[in-house]
Amino acid sequence: MPKKNTAKSCCAPTGAETGCCYVESVVSVDERGQMLIPKTLRDRAGIKSGTKLTLIGWEKNNKVCCISMVKTEDFTGMVKELLGPMMKEISVK
């Protein structure tokens, strides 16, 4: 029997993990649509040149009210973690 991966993403949506969400900083978007992620946050998050980030928009009343950034490698793992069991169940039927 394959060993089940018990590693959880730090951003897993299950709510069972203890974590903390807080305002890290306030950034501005320039005329070209670019913004600067502060170096201290990039260092702590392991974001380097070439790191891919997935932007996730949340809508309310047909308007984007919140935008989150997740490292793409972590987001891919989160999607696999959520959809993997569902897809396995579908493929068995």
Task: Note the pLDDT of residue 12.
Answer: 53
* Res 5 pLDDT > 60: no
Is residue 20 very low, low, confident or very high in pLDDT (cuts 50, 70, 90)?
confident
User: Residue 9 gets which letter from DSSP?
Assistant: -
The mean pLDDT value of the chain amounts to: 81
What percentage of the chain exceeds 70 in pLDDT?
Answer: 78
Please report, for residues 1, 32, 45, 85, the alpha-carbon distance to residue 90 in angstroms, rounded to integers and kept in the order given: 20, 44, 35, 9
